[in-house]
Chains A and B, each alone.
Chain A
Amino acid sequence: MKNFIFMDHTADIAVELQADTEENLFLSAIEAYKHIMFSGIPLQEGDTIALHLAENTLEELIAAFLNELNYMVSTRGWAVKHAESTRLIIEEGIWKFECMLVGGVLGEEYYPNYEIKAAAYHDIRIKKDNGIYSITIIFDI
C-alpha cells in the first residue's frame, strides 16, 4: 500500500491518500503534501507546532488539516517534515484531530514547488476497500 497516488487532473493536482486506519490518513496527507510542495528541498525539523482541529466530518477534517499545513507555508514559510503524537477522535458527532507537527522554516534560498490555493472539498469522500481507507483530494493550484 502506498501512502498516496497521483490521479490525472487537467487543471490542478489530484491525489488519492491511502492508509490502514483513518488516523493514518493524516500521515499520508503529510507525505503527499510534502511530495507536491517540497520535493528536492531539504526540510528542517527544529520546531514543533501543536495542532488541534475539529470539523463536522472526517473528510472536512482532512481538508482542513491540509489547508492548515498550507497556511503555515504561505504565511511563515514553515514546512512540515512529519507529525507525532497523533490522535483522531469523534466527540458528540464532531471529528477532532490533534498532533505535534515537526518541521521548520524553509531556507531562504528555497521556495515551495507550487502555490496551492487550497485543498478543495470537491468530491471528497472516504472509502474503505479491503481494509484500506482512501480519499481523493484535489489541490487547487
Chain B
Amino acid sequence: MKVNGIELIKITDELWEIPKTGGMLVPGRIYATQEMLENEIAVDNSLWQVINAAHLPGIQKYSLAMPDIHVGYGFPIGGVAATDAESGAISPGGVGYDINCGVRLASTHLIYNDVKDKIGELTNNLFKKIPTGVGAKGAIEKASKKDLKEIMIKGAGWAVENGYGSERDLSFTEESGRLKGAIPDVVNEKAVERGLDQVGTLGSGNHFLEVDLVEKIYDEEAAAAFGLNKGGIAVLLHTGSRGFGYQICDDYLKIILRASEKFGYNLPDKQLACAPLNSKEGQEYFGAMQAAANFAWCNRQVIMELVKRTFMYTFDISENALGFKLVYDVSHNIAKIENHLVDGKYKKVCVHRKGATRAFPAGSSELPADYKKSGQPVIIPGDMGRYSFVLAGLQNSMDETFGSSCHGAGRLMSRSKALKSVHAKNVLSDMKAKGIAIQAKGIKTLAEEMPEAYKDVSKVVDVIQNAGISKKVAKLRPIGVIKG
C-alpha cells in the first residue's frame, strides 16, 4: 500500500512497515489501522517524519510511530526512537518543547452521588485555586533561584519536602519523580527566569485538569490494583515543564544545530538536529532536559496537592474520608536511558518518547509492588467532552516498542477551523448539556479545544490493545473540566 507516496508493508492489521531505503538506518514501523493511515495519518507529513527519524545516528531496530501519530517538529508526535547510549545521538526534537509534558491520575473514595450536586462548585473552586492560563502566577509564590535549583535536582521530591503530597506519591511516579542526571549549571538563565513564576501552574492550550467519573472497567483485577472502581471519582491532570522546559529546548536546539554540523550529521530536517549523547553538547542537553523533566514532576506534584485540598474544602471532609490517592504519573515527552533487548542482548539505549508513554509490563523492577502483577498504568487522555482511558503495559511493548505506548488523541482540526466551525459558538452549552461543568480562561480557548477538534481516542487505544502493547483497564468520563 502507498500513502503519500510512501510504500507501506502490512505486518498485521495494526502494524505497518516502511522499508529501509536511502539514508534510513532502520525501517519505520507504524501502529495504525489501514483506515487510520488512509484517512487521518495521510493528511499530514508525519509518515515522512518517521522516515526522517530513521536517519538518527545510532537508532536501533525501528523508527516507531504510535496510532496517534501526527506531524511534529523533526520527530512526529507519537514517535519513539531508541539510540545506542554509547555511540548514538540524542535529539531535542525527539523530546519536544514541553519537556516531560505528562499526565497524572488520582483516585478518591468519592462516588458520583457524593459530588453530583456540587460539581459546579468544585470546578469553580479548582479554577480559583489552581493557577491556570496565560500569565497565571505559580502556586509557589515567586520561587527563589535557590528553590528552582533544588527543584531541578529533586523534582517531585522537592514538592513533598515542602508539604505538597507524601513520600508514597514518589513511588507512584515514573522515575520516582526525578531523573538523577539533572545538571542545573547547564540551564540558561533565561530558562530560570521563565520558570521562577511558574511552579504550580497548569498552563493553557491543551493542558487541563479534569474531574472524572470511572465509567467502565475492562480489567477488574488491574483496576483493583490501580484503586479504580466503577462509579468512582478520579482526577486527571495534564501539564508539563512550562516556560522553563520550553526555553531549555529552544536554547539547546541552537546549540545542537551547531553540533550537528560539527559532527558532520547530514539530517533531512533541521529540527532533527542531534549530537552524540556522549559529546559535551549531548551531555549538557541531556542534563538540562533532566532538570526540566524534574521541574515538570514537581509542577504536577504541587498542583495535585492543591486539588486534594480543594476537594477537602469543597466537600468539608477529612483527608482520610476523601481517600485521595495517586494512581500514577507518566511522562509523554522525554528521553531516558533504559535497558532493552536488541538483537537478543540487553543494551543501554536512549529512548526518545515524543507524544508516547512508557508502558512497562507486569514484573518490571521499575514498578511499585502494587503494580508488579498488573503492569504499569498508562494514562491516555482523550478530549474534554468524551473520555480518557487507563491502560496497563504488556510484554509486547518491551518486545516491540522499547516499552512505549500511545499518549492521547491528537488534533483533527486546526485552531482556526475549530473557531469557524458550527460547534464553536455552542461549545459551552454543548458541554453543559453533556453534564460537564467547565471553567476556562477564555471562550476562544474552549472553542479551539472542543471535542470535535480531536480524534477519537478510543480508536487509538483499540489499536494499541490489539497490538498487545497495552490493555484497557478503565474508561473515564469528564464531569468537571478546567482549561487555561
Contact = CB atoms under 8 A, between A and B. Distances in A.
Contacts of B253: 121
| Among B43, B205, B258: residue with most chain A CB under 10 A | B205
Interface stretch (B155-163, B230-238, B372-380, B411-419): B411-419
Given A60-B254, A121-B73, A121-B271, A71 B134 contact: no
Interface stretch (B210-218, B244-252, B277-285, B427-435): B244-252
Contact of A120 (B73, B190, B444): B73
A13 B415 contact: yes
B257 interface: yes
A118 B194 contact: no
Contact of A6 (B269, B416, B441): B416
A117 B98 contact: yes
B205 A114 contact: yes
Contacts of A117: 97-98, 243, 246, 249
| Among B44, B194, B250, B441: residue with most chain A CB under 10 A | B250
B145 to A, nearest CB: 13
Nearest to B413: A10
Given A117-B246, A118-B249, A111 B133 contact: yes
A115 B270 CA distance: 24
A56 B258 contact: yes
B44 A10 contact: yes
A103 interface: no
B71 A10 contact: yes
| Interface size classification for chain B | 35 or more
A38 to B, nearest CB: 11
A135 B414 CA distance: 20
Given A8-B416, A10-B413, A74-B243, A115 B134 contact: yes
A80 B219 CA distance: 54
A141 interface: yes
A140 interface: yes
A71 B243 CA distance: 9
B444 A118 contact: no
A50 to B, nearest CB: 17
B204 A122 contact: no
B468 interface: no
Nearest to B258: A56
Interface string A97-122: 00000000000000111110110111
Contact of B194 (A6, A75, A77): A75
B414 A10 contact: yes
A85 to B, nearest CB: 24
A118 B191 CA distance: 12
Contacts of B250: 67, 118
A124 B73 contact: no
A126 to B, nearest CB: 13
B267 to A, nearest CB: 12
A138 interface: yes
Given A75-B194, A111-B133, A115-B205, A120 B271 contact: yes
Contacts of A6: 416
Interface string B193-207: 110010000011100
Contacts of B442: 113
27 contacts: A8-B416, A9-B415, A10-B43, A11-B71, A11-B414, A12-B415, A55-B254, A60-B254, A64-B254, A67-B250, A71-B193, A75-B193, A111-B441, A112-B134, A113-B134, A113-B444, A115-B205, A115-B243, A117-B246, A117-B249, A118-B97, A118-B247, A120-B73, A121-B253, A121-B271, A122-B74, A140-B73
Interface of A: 6, 8-13, 55-56, 60, 64, 67, 71, 74-75, 77, 111-115, 117-118, 120-124, 138, 140-141
Given A74-B243, A115-B134, A120-B73, 5 more contacts: A8-B417, A64-B254, A77-B135, A120-B271, A122-B74
